[in-house]
């Protein structure tokens, strides 16, 4: 699953002719993701208020220690320390970041090293069959 995600995203980034167009696609994706995330949250909140899950359940008192995590730590966790580990642990977000970086690097070096671009296209075509 990890290699398929990697190859698909890296190939898509390398085949984009205009990075302005890629920015528009990404912006549209963010709007789409925000709207449907908001709709899902509203539906979840509404259903929880209607069904009232957990009402009347008596649980034993346990103390849970919550870890203090900042937004910066969460964002930094998306950047892989070791790309191989990201594939072995199937950390999808880290695989996506690696694929984007690889795709951009190959796209920018297309004039200098076109064989890397061709290799990725051929590998992607082989992977899909």
pLDDT at 109: 78
* Domain encompassing residue 15: 2-54+67-128
Count how many domains the chain has: 1
What's the gap between Cα 58 and its chain centre?
39
The Cα–Cα gap between 50 and 37 comes to: 20
Evaluate whether residue 30 is within a structural domain. Answer: yes
Evaluate whether residue 42 is within a structural domain. Answer: yes
Evaluate whether residue 61 is within a structural domain. Answer: no
Interval 13-27: pLDDT, tens? 887 777 788 788 888
Mean pLDDT of 67-93: 91
pLDDT at 45: 96
Entry pTM: 0.64
Give buried/exposed letters for 70-80 (b at 16+ CB in 10 A, else e): eeeeeeeeeeb
């Amino acid at each position: 699953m990890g290699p398929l995600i990697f190859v698909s995203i890296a190939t898509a980034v390398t085949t984009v002719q205009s990075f302005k167009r890629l920015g528009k696609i990404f912006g549209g994706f963010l709007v789409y993701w925000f709207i449907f995330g908001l709709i899902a949250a509203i539906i979840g909140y509404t259903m929880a208020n209607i069904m009232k899950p957990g009402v009347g359940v008596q649980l034993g008192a346990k103390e849970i220690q919550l870890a203090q995590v900042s937004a910066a730590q969460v964002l930094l966790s998306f950047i892989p320390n070791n790309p191989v580990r990201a594939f072995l642990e199937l950390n999808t977000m880290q695989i996506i970041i690696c694929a984007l970086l690889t795709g951009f690097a190959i796209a920018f070096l297309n004039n200098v090293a076109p064989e890397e671009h061709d290799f990725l296209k051929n590998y992607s075509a082989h992977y899909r069959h």
